């Protein structure tokens, strides 16, 4: 897979002007190979990534976690934080006559492998007949990260069923993820342009 991180800005900044920001990374989720680590059950379409899981008893039992990980993003020069924007839609549903069910989704990030941030999390569980509806939404989260640091992104989908008659269903789709880099200070009167390409 080949992708381009472009960080291009032409600015004439007067002293005392507010810090500037520009989009530094854009990913349409149309290819989950290459830099993505996929432990199964994650799929891509023309403009989104998605997972669908159905767990039933009798049949499958015990917890199951499916992960999708991006691990090769390096913060560009001149940036002291990243704002992550993501569009998503999901449903967590279940049904139980004897036993129970649970389902959850999580989107998180680490900076240099240790500084962990929960960007989004939701869960549902039940011990009787019932279901939880679906939700559409926009996620926005600002991550403190400076030039040269590595950022890993994690998507995790969890389902569990127990007892004798129960089921859990998880659907999650997301698209249009962008990362916006924020400048720590204003530039002096100048014109500045940088283009960075990673293969």
Task: State the Cα angle at 49 between 126 and 145, rounded to 5°.
Answer: 95
Question: Do 24 and 194 meet the contact criterion of CB atoms below 8 Å apart?
Answer: no
- Supply the pLDDT for residue 13: 38
Residue 33: which of 24, 20, 43, 25 has the closest Cα? 43
Helix (H), strand (E) at residue 20: none
Helix (H), strand (E) at residue 146: none
- Supply the pLDDT for residue 29: 87
Lowest-pLDDT choice from 32-41, 118-127, 179-188: 179-188
37 DSSP assignment: E
Q: Which class is 21-182 in CATH? A: mainly beta
Section 101-123 average pLDDT = 92
- Supply the pLDDT for residue 32: 87
The phi, psi pair for 170, rounded to 5°, reads -130, 130
- Supply the pLDDT for residue 146: 86
Q: Which residues pair with 107 in a beta bridge?
A: 120, 155
Domain residue extents for the chain: 21-182
CA–CA gap between residue 66 and residue 51 (Å, rounded): 9
* pLDDT tens per residue, range 68-108: 999 878 888 888 889 999 999 999 989 888 889 999 999 99
* pLDDT tens per residue, range 1-32: 333 333 333 333 334 445 565 767 888 888 88
Residue 163: which of 92, 57, 63 has the closest Cα? 57
């Amino acid at each position: 897979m080949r992708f381009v991180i472009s960080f291009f800005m032409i600015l004439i900044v007067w002293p005392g002007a507010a810090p500037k920001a520009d989009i530094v990374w854009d990913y349409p989720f149309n290819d989950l190979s290459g830099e993505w680590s996929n432990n199964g059950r994650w799929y891509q379409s023309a403009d989104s990534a998605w997972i669908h899981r159905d767990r039933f008893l009798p049949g499958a039992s015990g917890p199951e976690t499916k992960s999708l990980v991006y691990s090769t993003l390096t913060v560009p020069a001149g940036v002291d934080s990243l704002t992550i924007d993501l569009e998503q839609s999901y449903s967590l549903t279940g049904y139980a006559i004897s036993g129970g069910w649970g389902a959850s989704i999580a989107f998180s990030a680490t900076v240099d492998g240790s500084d962990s941030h929960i960007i989004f999390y939701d869960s549902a569980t039940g011990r009787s007949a019932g279901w939880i509806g679906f939700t559409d939404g926009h996620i926005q989260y600002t991550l403190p990260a400076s030039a040269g640091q590595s950022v890993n992104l994690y998507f995790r989908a969890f389902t569990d069923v127990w007892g004798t008659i129960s089921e859990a269903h998880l659907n999650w789709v997301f698209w249009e993820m962008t990362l916006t880099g924020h400048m720590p200070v204003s530039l002096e009167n100048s014109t500045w342009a940088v283009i960075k390409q990673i293969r």
